[in-house]
Amino acid sequence: MFDNSYDGVLDDWKLKLITRRARRMGFRDFELDDAQQQTVLALLHFRFDPARANGACESTAVTAVIDRQQWERESRENTHRGA
d(CA 20, CA 61): 15
DSSP letter assigned to residue 9:
T
For residue range 35-50, what is the model confidence (pLDDT) as tens digits? 899 899 999 999 999 9
For the beta carbon of residue 12, count every other beta carbon within 10 angstroms.
9
Residues 6+ apart with CB under 8 A from 28: none
Residue 13, pLDDT > 90, answer: yes
For residue range 14-72, what is the model confidence (pLDDT) as tens digits? 999 999 999 999 989 998 888 899 899 999 999 999 999 899 999 999 999 999 999 88
Residue ranges per structural domain of the chain: 12-81
Percentage of the chain exceeding pLDDT 90: 54
Supply the mean pLDDT for the chain: 87
pTM of the full predicted structure?
A: 0.79
At residue 6, the pLDDT reads 82
